[in-house]
Amino acid sequence: MTDLTTRWLGLDLHSPLVVGASPLTDDLDALKACVDAGAGAVVMHSLFEEQLVAEQMAAHRFIDSRINMDAEARSFFPGSEMFEMGSGSYLKRLKRLQGALDVPVIASLNGISPGGWIQHAGELENAGASAIELNLYDLATDPADTAATLEQRQLDVVRSVVEQVSIPVSVKLSPFYSALPAFVAGVEAAGARGLVLFNRFYQPDIDLDQLTLSRELALSSSAELPLRLHAVAMLFNRTGLEMAVSGGVHTGDDAAKALLSGATVVQVVSALLAEGPQALARISDAMSRRLRGIGYNTLAEARGAMSLDSAPDSQTWERLNYARLLHGWH
């Protein structure tokens, strides 16, 4: 069997299979089963900027509205630090997971603008997070918001979070950048240690019967993997950042493809939601057998073997592949 040990963000992992951010991180028993089945690390679900800011503002409005009722009110109202404003329960859960699991636990922040919410990165570090995954999810809806301003705002967020902590920070991106390598260079310059490619968006749909917007969770499939493989293969050796593939990994072959493209680790969510923790054991065993079967004894030997720089026909990763596909569709 192939040696599956690896290092992600400076952390020693016994497996490249990582439980990605999902509702599973609220279920300690499920996470323990995932670790027993081969998970090398766990990523908690995100703390959202909107949630943190809204709860902070609500608490301040509550206090301030009463302070104005009496000149001496400030003397009998507690300070705002007495209130749990967004992160308290998350920090408790993080400490509980760190104490119960023998693999790294990675906290997650989701935000789009520099601001006070970023101070929670330091709280996550103090609570014992092994690393932070910064999830950038920013959709431009203002016509005045250009690609350049949006990307600069995101890079400012990355830099602000990195400056708050001494633990490593990875950045989870969407696939919708017109010049991904250039933006990734900016992420690296801002101090991040890793990339997670890519976000899966749960966009609203329209209920025609009720004329309302609805949200439904659609699990991924292996059909979503090639988008990730292309990005990782293109970036391998062109960035100093370690890379994780997230989305579309359901089989051992899927995981092997991600590693051969250049990924250091592979995040799994939908397969776990569909099958439970036993999916990790299945994927791990099949991945190891596949890599050993094609001649790789360690992950380091396999990583990047099919990247843009190393693939036997590297042009297949590029635009020429589109022309070939159109001509040979039938």
pLDDT at 324: 63
Q: Is residue 101 part of a domain?
A: yes
pLDDT at 246: 97
Lowest pLDDT segment from 49-58, 116-125, 274-283: 49-58
Mean pLDDT across the chain, nearest whole number?
Answer: 86
Q: What is the pTM of this model?
A: 0.85
Are the C-beta atoms of residues 190 and 164 closer than 8 Å to each other? no
> What are the angstrom distances between the C-alpha of 110 and each of 175, 219, 262, 319, 330?
16, 20, 25, 33, 43
Name the residue with tokens 């990605």.
Answer: 20
Give the CATH number, domain containing residue 245. 3.20.20.70
User: How is 242-273 classified by DSSP, letter by letter?
Assistant: EEEEES---SHHHHHHHHHHT-SEEEE-HHHH
pLDDT at 50: 55
What single DSSP character describes residue 116?
Answer: G
Q: Is residue 215 part of a domain?
A: yes
What single DSSP character describes residue 16?
Answer: S
Q: Which two tokens stand for residue 309?
A: 């720089």
> What are the angstrom distances between the C-alpha of 250 and each of 202, 236, 258, 268?
19, 23, 11, 8
pLDDT at 53: 46
Q: Is residue 169 part of a domain?
A: yes
Alpha-carbon dihedral sign for residues 148, 153, 154, 155: positive
CB atoms within 10 A of CB 221: 13
Domain that holds residue 228: 6-327
More confident residue, 64 or 28: 28
Average pLDDT of the segment spanning 26-35: 96
- Domain count within the chain: 1
* pLDDT tens per residue across span 202-247: 678 898 999 998 877 789 999 999 999 999 999 999 999 999 999 9
Q: Is residue 1 part of a domain?
A: no
